[in-house]
Chains A and B, each alone.
Chain A
């Protein structure tokens, strides 16, 4: 093929933020393939300087409206670590429910609203409302359940208010938790049906493999989300305080994006990484759903991240029911958090929908934040997306432009990049 192929997808849509794709091939060879992000930099690390410990969660929640619960969790954990604040077992259980609620909300949104149009070959979820009304209503129903759960535990789905340092400002009643449990049980069947619908169209997910490193929290006893050490498919786990060894961010002149790497040139974090590392701790039901898709660890196909999200959705339902039972077995009681303001530095690491999220704060004796660092999953994945691009691009040369474009777009979407989170990106365009 001697034609020159130039593809420039400006503002890739159906990812949560702005991104561009560049692809050009000449005489059958890929000359350049590039994933770049146009999202406005917002520089929260600079903005929280001098802010009181009491407003750090509310401000950093606004890094991302899609995973604001996850940012709140990492933020609170960092503040608590910095000031030496202990939390109760009850608080931990409730926070784990909050993490599940957000993962469910984000995963069903991603798979149902953002990825499924690719599988059905349409531009958005709206045409599906006519052609696959039943499926869309099931997806909407699961989305509503997830939001209901977030509202109940965290006060609100977007920018939660009940989560505070040391615990909660308010907790659900026993009756509310019992009601939630009933709704979760009722959601199992529709979830399996949604999985079956995705499965029926899963042949649209390209069969592509590239070996890479996966990083996720590990506890050695459960499917770690709220807490754990930082595990890897390449190396031994390290405690969260040593997160800098795992992220190794660096700056390049032509972009404001900070890149991350660990034992190789890049790594992946997120649902597929968690699945690959913590598979053994998934519930039997979640393993059954993974089996439907033939998904087994270690899976090196990034397109399968969306399937791992479905598996996690199922597991979140099962684990949430177990957590509610545990809460109902104990004598649930509201205790208002109490602590002393103390100077210190602390790290909060939490698994959020798109992967491992770190916040680190240094708080002075007045209770003001003097230094902050936030490392966002999408930023950690950026390098891996680029390397996947470089590996898949040669296999695409000679194919119709539309197909190349869709394959690359679907790859980016599979990572579910929340570009609004990635506070350090600017646009890069070849002209």
Chain B
């Protein structure tokens, strides 16, 4: 009854490949998936050619799992093509959902990035100042390469997205939940995030006691991790501002949450929510009498706020990117 089988596809844009590997990590169950659905293409594991996709009817693919952010013209083209060919498009993993680590490049732009990599880098001898160009002439003809954008975008800033599966990488359980729901035809309303409607804090093993802190520390500066809320030990932990579903695995390894699950339900801006959490927990006796400079010094303890509070989500944040002159 192969005509009744669902048609799945996987694709990757600006990502590390971890999302593709995460799918393989469901191990034997991938064979169950293959029994319920035909996998049309999956670059890391199965052969397909670009033209095969172009030749498909619109809506031919039932579900396309798309990982990676959008940072060049080729990825943008693929996002549009796969949107057209797919009934359901799932943004898979932090890069597609919120921009991910590649989105940190929004703290610079094309010019800044190229200068670092092709001129200033220690390994580079580039006296002529060569940088990649979208088009160049060689003896065989014209060579073209995709255009590199100034700004990294999320998938839903590029095309309409039906479902979101966050995480860096998405937890195996959530992948199984999503795939099972699709196979059974029990999908939530369009636009849903396929993850629990709770925060990482709700899944964390550490106790919270609503205690305020007087100093912010990096994880390395804490002599001994105690068996209590990391934030209340002065370590910036994004658990309260981050959607759960991961089972708080990082805290299980004595590491703070760095926010890969994206914002919590009903929260507009993950970093904004964390700033408000920090503002309420950071407290000093007599702080109301402090000068602005003293308050600034207190807040300066948060090292690299943009990179810390928007590590996986700068492109989807209200702030989106650094203003370049």
Instruction: Give me the interface of A with B, judged by CB distance under 8 Å.
Output: 9-11, 13-18, 32, 38, 40-43, 45-47, 49-55, 58-59, 62-66, 68, 109, 113-114, 117, 123-126, 129, 136-137, 140, 143-144, 147, 155-159, 161-162, 164-166, 169-170, 244, 247, 249-256, 258, 336-339, 360, 367-368, 371, 373, 375, 418, 420, 424, 426-431
Contacts and interface: CB of A to CB of B under 8 A. Distances in A.
B25 A147 contact: yes
A65 B44 CA distance: 12
A124 B254 contact: no
A429 B50 contact: no
A244 B255 contact: no
Nearest to A64: B16
Contacts of A429: 143-144
Given A52-B303, A68-B16, A143-B27, A156 B117 contact: no
B79 interface: no
B16 A55 contact: no
Nearest to B254: A169
A115 B89 CA distance: 29
Contacts of B146: 38, 426-427
Interface in B243-292: 249-250, 252-255, 258
Given A129-B31, A159-B168, A124 B102 contact: no
Given A52-B304, A58-B311, 16 more contacts: A10-B49, A10-B50, A10-B51, A11-B43, A41-B117, A51-B307, A55-B258, A55-B307, A66-B17, A124-B46, A158-B169, A244-B123, A251-B124, A252-B130, A371-B122, A373-B122
B250 A161 contact: yes
A427 B143 CA distance: 9
A54 B220 contact: yes
B41 interface: yes
A13 B108 contact: no
Contacts of A123: 46-47
Given A158-B169, A251-B118, A18 B100 contact: no
Given A65-B16, A371-B122, A255 B145 contact: yes
A249 B311 CA distance: 30
Interface string B135-161: 010101111111010000000000000
A367 B219 CA distance: 13
B14 interface: yes
B3 interface: no
A32 B145 contact: no
A226 B169 CA distance: 25
B20 to A, nearest CB: 7
B132 A255 contact: yes
A45 B120 CA distance: 10
Nearest to B135: A254
A74 to B, nearest CB: 15
A17 B249 CA distance: 28
A45 B144 contact: no
Interface string B159-179: 000000000110000000000
Interface of B: 12-22, 24-25, 27-28, 31, 34, 39, 41-51, 68, 71-72, 74-75, 100-102, 104-105, 107-108, 112-113, 116-118, 121-126, 130, 132-133, 136, 138, 140-146, 148, 168-169, 218-220, 223-225, 249-250, 252-255, 258, 303-304, 307-308, 311
A339 B220 contact: yes
Given A11-B48, A14-B44, A253-B130, A42 B14 contact: yes
Interface centre among B13, B220, B258, B311, by most A CB within 10 Å?
Answer: B220
Interface centre among A109, A114, A126, A170, by most B CB within 10 Å?
Answer: A126
Q: Is the interface of A mostly helix, strand, loop or mixed?
A: loop
A252 B131 CA distance: 8
B219 A54 contact: yes
A406 to B, nearest CB: 10
Given A47-B105, A52-B304, A54-B219, A13 B19 contact: no
A431 B49 contact: no
Contacts of B44: 13-16, 114
Contacts of A59: 101, 104, 311
Contact of B45 (A50, A125, A336, A426): A125
A62 B99 CA distance: 13
Contacts of A252: 130
Given A50-B304, A147-B25, A373-B122, A170 B253 contact: yes
A113 B51 contact: no
Contacts of B220: 53-54, 164-166, 337, 339
Given A254-B138, A256-B132, A375-B123, A140 B28 contact: yes
Contacts of B50: 10-11
B45 A114 contact: yes
Contact of A164 (B148, B219, B249): B219
Given A32-B140, A129-B34, A427-B74, A16 B20 contact: yes
Contacts of B140: 32, 430
